[in-house]
Amino acid sequence: MDKTTQLVAQVEHAIATGQPLSIRGNGTKAHLGRTTSGLTSLDLSEHTGIVSYQPVELVMTARAGTRLDEIIAHLDEHNQMLPCESPLFGGAATIGGTLASNVSGPARPWGGSIRDLVLGTQLINGQGERLRFGGQVMKNVAGYDVSRLQAGALGTLGVITEVSFKVLPKPEATTYLGLALTAEDAVILMSQLAGTSAPISGACWYAGQLHMRLSGAEAAVTQTMAQWQRDYTMTEENGSQFWRSLREQNLLLGADPLWRFSVRSSAMLPHDADSVIDWCGSQRWLRGEYELETLSLIAQEAGGSIAKWQGGDRQAEVFSQPNAVLKHLQREVKHALDPHGIFNPGRLYGWM
Amino acid sequence: MQDARSALRRELAAAFADFIDPEYVIADRETQKPYECDGLSMYCEMPLLVVLPETLAQVQQVMTLCHQQGVPVIARGAGTGLCAGAMPHPDGVVLSLAKFNRILAIDPLARTARIEPGVRNLAISEAAAQHGLYYGPDPSSQIACSIGGNVAENSGGVHCLKYGLTVHNVLSVQLVTVSGELVTLGSEGLDSSGLDLMALINGSEGLLGVVTEVTVRLLPMPEKAQVVLAGFPTVQAAGDAVGAVIAAGIIPAGLEMMDHHAIVAAEAFAQAGYPLDAQALLLCELDGTAAEVDQYIAAVAEIFTAQGASSIRVSQSETERAALWKGRKSAFPAVGRISPDYYCMDGTIPRSQLAYVLTQMQQMSQTFGLRVANVFHAGDGNLHPLILFDANKPGEFARTEAFGARILALCVEVGGCITGEHGVGLEKIRQMAVQFNDAEIAQLHRLKSAFDPHGTLNPGKGIPVLGRCQEYRALAKGETS
Q: Where residue B379 sits, what CATH number does that domain have?
A: 3.30.70.2740
Give the H or E element holding residue B382.
strand B382-389
- Given a cut of 70, whether residue B280 has pLDDT beyond it is yes
Domain co-membership, B350 together with B407: yes
Domain co-membership, B354 together with B471: yes
Confidence of residue B114 (pLDDT cuts 50, 70, 90): very high
Position B481 scores a pLDDT of 44
Domain co-membership, B212 together with B241: no
> What is residue A26's three-state secondary structure?
coil
Position A273 scores a pLDDT of 78
User: Cβ of A142 and B160 within 8 Å?
Assistant: no
Chain A contact for B418 (CB, 8 A cutoff): yes
As a whole number of angstroms, the distance between CA B53 and CA B88 comes to 17
Confidence of residue B118 (pLDDT cuts 50, 70, 90): very high
Domain co-membership, B74 together with B107: no
As a whole number of angstroms, the distance between CA B459 and CA B425 comes to 10
State the CATH class of domain A173-247.
alpha beta
As a whole number of angstroms, the distance between CA A335 and CA A352 comes to 9
CB B167 within 8 A of CB B154: yes
Residue type, A7: L
Mean pLDDT for the stretch of residues B371-393: 93
Give the H or E element holding residue B297.
helix B290-306
pLDDT digits (tens, 9 = 90+) for B39-72: 999 999 999 999 999 999 999 999 999 999 999 9
Mean pLDDT for the stretch of residues B83-101: 97
Domain co-membership, B121 together with B244: no
Question: Which residues in chain B have Cβ-Cβ distances shorter than 8 Å to A219?
Answer: 289, 291-292, 294-295
User: Cβ of B199 and A145 within 8 Å?
Assistant: yes
Chain B contact for A211 (CB, 8 A cutoff): no
As a whole number of angstroms, the distance between CA A306 and CA A252 comes to 17
Mean pLDDT for the stretch of residues A262-272: 92
pLDDT digits (tens, 9 = 90+) for B297-332: 999 999 999 999 999 999 999 999 999 998 998 888
Chain A, nearest residue to B128 by Cα: A195
Mean pLDDT for the stretch of residues A49-76: 97
Chain A, nearest residue to B286 by Cα: A217
Domain count within chain B: 4
Position B337 scores a pLDDT of 86
Chain B contact for A268 (CB, 8 A cutoff): no
Alpha carbon distances (Å) from A96 to A108, B97, B291, B381: 18, 39, 39, 26
CB A282 within 8 A of CB A262: yes
Residues of A (12-31) whose Cβ lies below 8 Å from B: none
Domain co-membership, B374 together with B446: yes
Nearest of B88, B167, B165, B78 to residue B118 by alpha carbon: B78
User: Cβ of B380 and A145 within 8 Å?
Assistant: no
Confidence of residue A163 (pLDDT cuts 50, 70, 90): very high
As a whole number of angstroms, the distance between CA B219 and CA B233 comes to 37
Domain co-membership, B344 together with B468: yes
Give every CB contact of residue A3 below 8 A, 6+ residues apart in sequence: A44, A46, A47, A65
Question: Which residues in chain B have Cβ-Cβ distances shorter than 8 Å to A130?
Answer: 439
List beta partners, residue A137.
none
What 8-state DSSP symbol labels residue B20? Answer: S
Same fold yes or no, A4-169+332-337 and A173-247? no
As a whole number of angstroms, the distance between CA B104 and CA A49 comes to 48
**Within a 13 Å sphere around the CA of A305, how many CA atoms are in the beta-carbon half?**
21
Confidence of residue A38 (pLDDT cuts 50, 70, 90): very high
Chain A contact for B465 (CB, 8 A cutoff): no
- Given a cut of 80, whether residue B363 has pLDDT beyond it is yes
Mean pLDDT for the stretch of residues B7-29: 97
CA B31 to chain centre: 27
Mean pLDDT for the stretch of residues A112-122: 98
CATH number, domain with residue B306: 3.30.70.2190
Position B365 scores a pLDDT of 95
The ranges assigned to domains in chain A are 4-169+332-337, 173-247, 258-310
Alpha carbon distances (Å) from B11 to A102, B82, B100: 49, 32, 26
As a whole number of angstroms, the distance between CA B250 and CA B455 comes to 46
Chain A contact for B416 (CB, 8 A cutoff): yes
Position B478 scores a pLDDT of 66
Question: Residue B125, Cβ neighbours under 10 Å: how many?
Answer: 19
pLDDT digits (tens, 9 = 90+) for A221-234: 999 999 999 999 99
Position A253 scores a pLDDT of 86
As a whole number of angstroms, the distance between CA B480 and CA B409 comes to 11
Phi–psi pair at A215, nearest 5 degrees: -140, 140
Domain residue limits at B130: 103-220
Give the H or E element holding residue B5.
helix B2-17
- Strand A21-24, strand A40-43: pairing: parallel
As a whole number of angstroms, the distance between CA B74 and CA B206 comes to 7
Question: Residue A164, Cβ neighbours under 10 Å: how many?
Answer: 23
User: Cβ of B195 and A223 within 8 Å?
Assistant: no
Confidence of residue B351 (pLDDT cuts 50, 70, 90): confident
Nearest of B159, B302, B160, B326 to residue B241 by alpha carbon: B302
Mean pLDDT for the stretch of residues B100-127: 98
What burial class does residue A51 get, using C-beta atoms within 10 Å of its C-beta: 0-12 exposed, 13-18 middle, 19+ buried? middle
pLDDT digits (tens, 9 = 90+) for B396-419: 999 999 999 999 999 999 999 999
Residue type, B164: G
- Given a cut of 50, whether residue B155 has pLDDT beyond it is yes
Position A207 scores a pLDDT of 94
What is the three-state SS of B193-253?
A: CCCCHHHHHCCCCCCCCEEEEEEEECEECCCEEEEEEEEECCHHHHHHHHHHHHHCCCCCC
Residue type, A147: S
DSSP class per residue in A57-83: GTEEEEETT-BHHHHHHHHHHTTEE-T
What 8-state DSSP symbol labels residue A321? Answer: P
Chain B contact for A57 (CB, 8 A cutoff): yes
Domain co-membership, B140 together with B184: yes
Question: Residue B481, Cβ neighbours under 10 Å: how many?
Answer: 5
- Given a cut of 80, whether residue B175 has pLDDT beyond it is yes
Residue type, B481: S
- Given a cut of 80, whether residue A127 has pLDDT beyond it is yes
Q: Is A277 left (phi over 0), alpha (psi -120 to 50) or beta?
A: beta
Give every CB contact of residue A180 below 8 A, 6+ residues apart in sequence: A208, A209, A210
Domain co-membership, B128 together with B166: yes
Chain A, nearest residue to B288 by Cα: A197
pLDDT digits (tens, 9 = 90+) for A78-111: 999 999 999 999 999 999 999 999 999 999 999 9
Domain co-membership, B349 together with B474: yes
Position B467 scores a pLDDT of 85
CA A53 to chain centre: 22
Chain B contact for A34 (CB, 8 A cutoff): no
Mean pLDDT for the stretch of residues B271-277: 94
- The reply to whether ipTM tops 0.95 is yes
Chain B contact for A141 (CB, 8 A cutoff): yes
Position B479 scores a pLDDT of 61
Mean pLDDT for the stretch of residues A193-211: 97
As a whole number of angstroms, the distance between CA A152 and CA A166 comes to 18
- Given a cut of 80, whether residue B203 has pLDDT beyond it is yes
- Given a cut of 90, whether residue B380 has pLDDT beyond it is no
User: Cβ of A141 and B153 within 8 Å?
Assistant: yes
CA A101 to chain centre: 6
Considering only the beta carbons, identify the residue of A156, A304, A325 that sits closest to B187. A304
Indicate the CATH number of A4-169+332-337 among 3.40.50.2000, 3.40.50.10380, 3.30.465.10, 2.60.40.10: 3.30.465.10
As a whole number of angstroms, the distance between CA A66 and CA A85 comes to 16
> What is residue A244's three-state secondary structure?
helix
Mean pLDDT for the stretch of residues B345-370: 92
Mean pLDDT for the stretch of residues A127-138: 95
As a whole number of angstroms, the distance between CA B64 and CA B178 comes to 7
As a whole number of angstroms, the distance between CA B61 and CA B25 comes to 13
Percentage of residues in chain B having pLDDT higher than 70? 99
Nearest of A61, A337, A295 to residue B197 by alpha carbon: A337
Considering only the beta carbons, identify the residue of A224, A325, A348 that sits closest to B194. A348
Average model confidence (pLDDT) across chain B: 94
Domain co-membership, B170 together with B293: no
CATH number, domain with residue B45: 3.30.43.10
Last residue of a domain, one of B199, B220, B241: B220
What burial class does residue A173 get, using C-beta atoms within 10 Å of its C-beta: 0-12 exposed, 13-18 middle, 19+ buried? middle
Phi–psi pair at B465, nearest 5 degrees: -65, 135
As a whole number of angstroms, the distance between CA B409 and CA B406 comes to 5
